C-alpha cells in the first residue's frame, strides 16, 4: 500500500504491474537524458560568444533535430504498444468475479460458485481494529486466489465509478448499463488496497477496495464458509 514516505510506485503484485514499472523507468531514463542534453545546449548557447551573422539555413542540423526525436519516439512507442497488447490479452480464466459500483460501496459476485455475493462497505473509524487502516479497510474483503487467471467484470448500478488497484496495475471504469472486462493474475499472497477512481458523488472518497490474495486451498475454504 502507499504510505506518506513513498515517492515511487507501489510494489507490483502482478506481472502486468511489473511491466508497467519497467516501462515507467525506461521512459524516465529517456526523459532524463533529453533534459540533460537540452540543459547543456541552453547553457552552452548562453555562455559562448559564437555568432554567425550570415547564417540563413542549416539543413544538416535541421535534419538531425528532426530525425533524433523521431528515433526517440520509436524507443518509447514500441515498448508502450507491446505493453498495451499484453494488458488486453485475454487468458482462459479459472475464476470470474463481478464488481458492481454503488453509491457508495462495492458489491462482489462470484457467479461460478453458486452465486456467492456480498457488499463491501468502508469500516467506520470507531469499528476499526488496532491492525486496520483508517479510510482503507472494509467489512468484507474481496478474496482472490493467487497464481490463478482471474476475469474481472465491472459495472455500476447508479453513476460512474472506477475499480482501481494500483499494485495490480489495473483500473476499469464502472459504467451503468455496460460490462467492462479485465484480467488479473496475482503473484503472491497479501492485502492490496485501492479506491474508486471516478468522482461519483459526496462519498466518493469513502468506498475503498481491499483485495485479499490467498492460496487456492484457502480460497476454496473461504468459498465453503460463504
Q: What is the pLDDT of residues 146-188, one digit of tens each?
A: 999 999 999 999 999 999 999 999 999 999 999 999 989 999 9
pLDDT at position 113, please? 84
95-225 sits in which CATH class?
mainly beta
**CATH 2.60.40.420 residue ranges for the chain:** 95-225
pTM listed for this prediction: 0.83
Nearest-CA neighbor of 21 among 3, 7, 9? 9
Least confident of 12-21, 127-136, 142-151, 199-208: 127-136
pLDDT at position 111, please? 85
Nearest-CA neighbor of 171 among 195, 150, 147? 195
pLDDT at position 59, please? 85
The chain-wide mean pLDDT, for the chain, equals 90
Which residue, chain included where needed, has cell 457508495? 104
Least confident of 33-37, 89-93, 200-204: 89-93
Residues of the chain with pLDDT > 90, as a percent, come to 58
pLDDT at position 69, please? 92
Residues of the chain with pLDDT > 70, as a percent, come to 100
Amino acid at each position: 500500500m502507499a504510505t506518506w514516505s513513498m515517492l515511487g510506485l507501489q510494489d507490483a503484485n502482478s506481472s502486468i504491474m511489473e511491466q508497467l514499472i519497467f516501462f515507467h523507468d525506461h521512459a524516465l531514463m529517456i526523459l532524463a537524458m533529453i533534459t540533460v542534453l537540452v540543459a547543456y545546449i541552453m547553457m552552452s548557447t548562453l555562455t559562448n560568444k559564437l555568432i554567425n551573422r550570415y547564417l540563413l539555413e542549416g539543413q544538416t542540423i535541421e535534419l538531425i533535430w528532426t530525425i533524433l526525436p523521431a528515433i526517440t519516439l520509436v524507443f518509447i512507442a514500441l515498448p508502450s504498444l507491446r505493453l498495451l497488447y499484453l494488458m488486453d490479452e485475454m487468458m482462459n480464466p479459472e475464476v470470474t468475479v463481478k464488481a458492481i459500483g454503488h453509491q457508495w460501496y462495492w458489491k462482489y459476485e462470484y457467479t461460478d460458485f453458486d452465486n456467492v455475493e456480498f457488499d463491501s462497505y468502508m469500516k467506520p473509524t470507531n469499528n476499526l481494529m488496532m491492525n486496520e487502516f483508517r479510510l482503507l479497510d472494509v467489512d468484507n474483503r474481496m478474496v482472490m486466489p493467487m497464481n490463478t487467471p482471474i476475469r474481472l467484470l465491472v459495472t455500476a448500478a447508479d453513476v460512474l465509478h472506477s475499480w482501481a488497484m494500483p499494485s495490480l496495475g489495473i483500473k476499469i471504469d464502472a459504467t451503468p448499463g455496460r460490462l467492462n472486462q479485465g484480467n488479473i493474475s496475482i503473484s503472491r499472497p497479501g492485502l492490496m488496497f485501492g479506491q474508486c477512481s471516478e468522482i461519483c458523488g459526496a462519498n466518493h472518497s469513502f468506498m475503498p477496495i481491499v483485495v485479499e490474495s490467498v492460496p487456492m486451498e484457502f480460497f476454496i475454504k473461504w468459498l465453503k464458509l460463504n
